[in-house]
């Protein structure tokens, strides 16, 4: 039996359009262990949010999974019917989105929403569900939960609403939580509180967390491992400290170089020249080769696959040979 709560194997997501086929996620594979937080990072349009949406079964038509497999706690879910996925969401997979107001009904108290979710997925009566709802609000750091359970979403601050959404995600004791930019709309001090909450919940509940974000700072503080996406593909994946402090892929190196160093006075920030290619017209070979300062002839002809650069550290780059960067 695998200890992984999530296994994604060769996932491919397509969007048929009038101008051709758009491949938004292309041959993506990774896994998340119990209690582990995997950060999925990349610039806008890289496909990270669509990867999360595909896993949880919330792709907007005509988008669809065109290939690959998704397993949660050993059960394959990518081939389930919509009615079956509705049961999986909430029970096996919880979701935390960027704007808590999109997840909460403004006309229902937070308690009613929690109780409804709990009773839908767990064999509890109304009284037991309310007790669990109060317990969840307390667990997520909401003061006076016995009182606040009867309040409406607009009576909570942004940070407190996000805690309510986290409580909803945990309501049915899911194996996996998809957190899509859960701290972006919050101020820095509240961000830190939510980050600490996610870390504590992963440790205490054993749930695996897929943390989708563009913020390297959030990744550094929260995740155990990080996967870097570019043009719908994972180009590097490994332990957070290893990837952030010793990046191997030229794209990851560019991302890290763009972060200002607080100990150095710098007039200009580093930038990666060019732009990410149109997903409907991804070039042959490595999708990053047009922007790469170290490209070779092979980069524009053949697509690189993930190879081992260090223990548990994989990189998709032709500059890597036998686990070492070319030229070392």
pLDDT, position 326: 47
Instruction: Work out how many domains the chain is built from and give that number.
Output: 1
Q: Is 224 left (phi over 0), alpha (psi -120 to 50) or beta?
A: alpha
Q: Is residue 121 part of a domain?
A: no
Q: With bands split at pLDDT 50, 70 and 90, how would you rate the model's confidence at 261?
A: confident
Output 265 or 322, whichever has higher pLDDT.
Answer: 265
CB 31 within 8 A of CB 8: yes
- List Cβ neighbours of 262 (8 Å cut-off, separation of 6 or more): none
Q: What is the pLDDT of residues 203-235, one digit of tens each?
A: 998 999 999 998 888 999 999 999 999 999 999
CATH number at residue 47: 3.40.50.300
pLDDT, position 19: 84
Q: Is residue 227 part of a domain?
A: yes
- List Cβ neighbours of 116 (8 Å cut-off, separation of 6 or more): 108
CA atoms within 13 A of residue 36's CA, in its CB half-sphere: 19
pLDDT, position 34: 95
Q: What is the pLDDT of residues 145-168, one digit of tens each?
A: 999 999 999 999 999 999 999 999
pLDDT, position 273: 87
Q: What is the pLDDT of residues 101-118, one digit of tens each?
A: 888 999 999 999 999 999
Q: What is the mean pLDDT of the chain?
A: 91
Q: With bands split at pLDDT 50, 70 and 90, how would you rate the model's confidence at 8?
A: very high
pLDDT, position 323: 45
CB 133 within 8 A of CB 118: yes
- List Cβ neighbours of 287 (8 Å cut-off, separation of 6 or more): 230, 231, 232, 233, 276, 277
Q: Is residue 213 part of a domain?
A: yes
**Average of per-residue pLDDT across 283-292:** 93
Q: Is residue 146 part of a domain?
A: no
Q: Is residue 202 part of a domain?
A: yes
Q: Is residue 200 part of a domain?
A: yes
Q: Is residue 204 part of a domain?
A: yes
Cis-peptide into 134, omega within 30 deg? no
Q: What is the pLDDT of residues 51-107, one digit of tens each?
A: 999 999 999 999 999 999 999 999 999 999 989 998 899 899 999 988 888 889 999
pLDDT, position 322: 44
pLDDT, position 325: 58
pLDDT, position 141: 92
pLDDT, position 281: 85
Percent share of the chain, pLDDT over 70:
97
pLDDT, position 321: 61
Considering the entire predicted model, what is its pTM? 0.92
pLDDT at 324 > cutoff 70? no
Q: Is residue 137 part of a domain?
A: no
pLDDT, position 189: 85
Domain that holds residue 70: 4-92+174-262+269-325
Tell me the residue ranges of DSSP E strands in the chain. Answer: 4-17, 20-33, 37-41, 64-72, 75-76, 93-96, 176-180, 208-213, 225-230, 233-239, 307-310, 313-315, 320-321, 324-325
């Amino acid at each position: 039996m695998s200890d992984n709560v999530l296994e994604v194997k060769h996932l491919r997501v397509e969007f048929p359009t009038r101008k051709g086929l758009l491949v938004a996620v292309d041959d993506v594979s990774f896994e998340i262990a119990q209690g582990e937080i995997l950060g999925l990072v990349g610039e806008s349009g890289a496909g990270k949010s669509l990867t999360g949406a595909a896993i949880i079964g919330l792709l907007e038509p005509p988008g669809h999974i065109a290939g690959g497999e998704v397993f949660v706690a050993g059960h394959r879910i990518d081939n389930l019917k919509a009615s079956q996925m509705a049961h999986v969401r909430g029970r096996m997979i919880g979701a935390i989105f960027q704007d808590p107001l999109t997840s909460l009904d403004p006309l229902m108290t937070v308690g009613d929403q929690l109780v409804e979710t709990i009773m839908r997925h767990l064999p509890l009566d109304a009284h037991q569900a309310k007790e669990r709802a109060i317990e969840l609000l307390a667990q997520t750091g909401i003061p006076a939960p016995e009182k606040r359970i009867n309040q409406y979403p607009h009576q909570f601050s942004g940070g407190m609403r996000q805690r309510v959404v986290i409580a909803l995600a945990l309501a049915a004791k899911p194996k996996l939580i998809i957190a899509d930019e859960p701290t972006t709309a919050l101020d820095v001090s509240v961000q830190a509180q939510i980050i600490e909450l996610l870390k504590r919940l992963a440790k205490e509940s054993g749930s695996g967390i897929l943390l989708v974000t563009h913020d390297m700072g959030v990744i550094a503080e929260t995740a155990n491992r990080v996967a870097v996406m570019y043009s719908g593909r994972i180009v590097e994946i490994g332990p957070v400290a290893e990837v952030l402090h010793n990046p191997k892929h030229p794209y990851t190196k560019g991302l890290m170089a763009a972060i200002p160093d607080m100990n150095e006075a710098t007039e200009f920030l580093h930038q990666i020249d060019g732009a990410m290619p149109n997903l409907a017209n991804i070039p042959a070979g490595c999708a990053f080769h047009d922007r790469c300062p170290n490209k070779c002839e092979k980069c524009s002809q053949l697509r690189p696959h993930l190879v081992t650069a260090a223990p548990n550290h994989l990189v998709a780059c032709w500059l890597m040979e036998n686990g070492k960067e070319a030229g070392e």
